[in-house]
A and B are shown apart, each in its own frame.
Chain A
């Protein structure tokens, strides 16, 4: 499914952001406050842009009343006050699908995919940060979307689960738009990267095209050396200790 962000502007935060993704993993990277989450919030409709539009298969997301059946999102919102069980939270992903016979199976599959079947009857609030994050990812998967939007999906996860979650997102074979802080993970798992700086899109392309020392220095104010990963060949960054002004 094709996702297009066309000239999206939110006054004072992001201006004229355009990007597209279709059945691939597109990563958004950039420093804190560069507008990454705001861009995603426009995509999953938590914000209405002041100008520009987000299209899904050519239709504006604000005109798609059944959008929740096509697009799922993992938001930064993590303050759950109610003591739901893991299974109950994952089952919420079935809300957009009017009580279909697939509900129970989709929930079981999602739990198994994220490897949390053993947590199904546990209280969400009793889980660790990483376990909670996986539960929320399972909920998005249970939604059976064709576009998945992830806001820092690797937050709180240990290295093994970071790799697993990103491999999982890739393996779904659907359109994935994800914000990532770790540039090396972004290089390993994204087909293309978009770099935001101060609310503007400053570069986009394959990781090899984007992750070059000049751009890293300009956007992140650090000195980076690009090396090839010995087994996969993707570019990886090593950083000097001193930050550049």
Chain B
């Protein structure tokens, strides 16, 4: 286990340096490492490397770091949601967050809502409507007996159709096509807006959320066995599920606000991790975020480079890389989430 964590930390470190080095203007790998090292340790940078230093430190590093944070967060949330709804198709967006957020984002992009907030209008609009949508799902799904997994999935899915319809209506009513295009781009996920200001909140929320989930790994195992079993093992099921709902909704809405709705990561990384290390959350929860972080760093590299100088939406790349990987692992291992 320690070996696996160390290996994934190593992979992540290399991925981050590579992610910073690669781009339309490539900076040699060694130079990138030197520049990052100088920046972290407060060393000096030769004058002729000042331009490359700007690219590395001001433009690429925050973006790569944000990719790692988003990848880690979505993977951890995916693991937790799949246990909460006890369903292999669970992902961070099953509770209606992404479709809810898309309503706010398209309202901002197409009709200039919240324009007083300037460049933060889009992420603020997305965050607010995303959280609002989740609250609506929670209130609708809740009964006197608490939140049952099936009601949660059904309510989230049903309301998501409604939110998506509202977002689509906004896109088609948009005054000009360019606004619709940027709304669509945002919906498929992009880290184009990343800067040092967008990192702290996303990082703190994600790390705190992952730590919380890791301390509840054994309770998540019990919950995965069924509500009654978890009750007999001393887990206060209703309170625990509500806590998980709040934590996962919080992480997801913050991540959606900075990166849009990046699909696939939160659904598949948990499964990929389980295929390798089994279902025990004490192993899945530390490893899935590390794998997800590296994965999204490379996805973002591809998004920047494949059609340079144009950027591709992340959702297109996550699917293009992830689906073959997943099919390969699914064929190779006798993975049986969902039973035989």
Contact = CB atoms under 8 A, between A and B. Distances in A.
A88 B228 contact: no
Interface stretch (B34-42, B243-251, B332-340): B332-340
A157 B196 CA distance: 61
A166 to B, nearest CB: 20
A190 interface: no
A77 B233 contact: no
A67 B234 contact: yes
A72 B222 CA distance: 13
A46 B225 contact: no
Given A88-B221, A92-B221, A83 B335 contact: yes
B231 interface: yes
A88 B278 contact: yes
Contacts of A92: 218, 221-222, 225, 233
A222 B88 CA distance: 45
Contacts of A95: 218-219, 221-222, 233-235
Contact of A82 (B218, B224, B232): B224
Interface string A45-79: 11000000000000000000011110111010101
Given A67-B234, A96-B234, A126-B336, A89 B228 contact: no
Contact of B225 (A69, A72, A80, A143): A80
A80 B221 contact: no
A71 B182 CA distance: 58
Given A67-B234, A81-B87, A126 B229 contact: no
B300 interface: no
Contact of A84 (B228, B232, B280): B280
Interface in A120-144: 123, 125-126, 143
A41 interface: yes
A91 to B, nearest CB: 9
Contacts of B338: 81
Nearest to A48: B145
Contacts of A125: 336, 339-340
B234 A77 contact: no
B243 to A, nearest CB: 17
Interface string B86-101: 1110000000000000
Interface string B273-301: 01000111000000000000000000000
Contacts of A67: 234
Interface of B: 83, 86-88, 218-219, 221-222, 224-229, 231-235, 274, 278-280, 335-340
Interface of A: 41, 44-46, 66-69, 71-73, 75, 77, 79-85, 88-89, 92-93, 95-96, 123, 125-126, 143, 149
